[in-house]
Amino acid sequence: MKKIYLNLKRFDIPKDMNGINDIGYGDCWARKIINSLNSIKDVDLVVFLPESSLFSAIKNTKHIGIGCQGVHYKDVVKGGNFGAFTSFRPASAMKALGVTNVIVGHSEERASKNELLIIGGGKGDVNEILNQEVKCALAQEMKVLYCVGEKAEEQENKYEVIKNQILVGLKDVDISNISIAYEPIWAIGPGKVPPDKEYIEDIVKFIKSVVNVPVVYGGGLKVENAQMLASISELDGGLVALTRFGKDFGFSTDDFKKIVETYKEGL
């Protein structure tokens, strides 16, 4: 069964506060979205939400996996740290809430952590931090979507970059609950030209030669590319964030359902 992931980013910020949520305040939007998506069948669907809306999503899901948008790189320890993680999101807290999935290493998270490393003198590898996050999530029996991908200035040595992200980020972990999302960071954003089928197919094959786990396309599964992505036999699904682009960019459950159906038709 193909894997479809939906990352609702900070969908808890309404449009009148400069966000993209035009559904409602509080957590009513999460309830509405999950109830609408419960009708989707024949794909392994996981939705990542901001922590403020996780409980509402968990209460209303029927078969959809509910995920958080990251976990801290440390967690509680019996006889040690009891949970002194103010402002952080430990994996144990997510498990206690009922969360079953997490996305780790999204390009936005990587960029943020790299900025902190630069402020601290530029030493260290962000993948080592992500490795600790993966381990914390797996220790709490969560399924992990681990993101990898190259920036524009890394395209010439993309294989080395991606291989390092995998070997360091997934070092010493049980990969049975790991999937990978390939994000071509250089192609994400307004006006960017997305990679073609051959490029994606090549990268997916390379990733699977490094680690044998399911791989989904993380550069944006859309109606326009759904059938092309579905035709790549090595690809195991896709990741969706926005469904509308241009001046009216945002998210719509009807648009999302159309993306999923278009992808299924191309299989």
Judge whether 183 counts as a catalytic residue.
yes
Residue 265 token pair: 């038709």
Active-site residue identified among 106, 109, 133, 150: 106
Q: What is the identity of the amino acid at 26? A: G
Judge whether 160 counts as a catalytic residue.
no
Nearest to 149 by CA among 74, 199, 91, 115: 199
CB 64 within 8 Å of CB 100: no
Active-site residue identified among 109, 133, 150, 183: 183
Helices 223-230 and 253-265: angle between axes, nearest 10 degrees:
30
Q: What CA–CA distance (Å, rounded) separates 38 from 103?
A: 21
| SS3 per-residue string spanning 19-76 | CCECCCCCCHHHHHHHHHHCCCCCCEEEEEECHHHHHHHHHHCCCCEEEECCCCCCCC
How many CB atoms within 10 Å of residue 72? Answer: 18
Name beta bridge partners: 178: 144
Residue 22 token pair: 């035009």
Nearest to 169 by CA among 220, 106, 75: 106
Active site residues per annotation = 106, 183
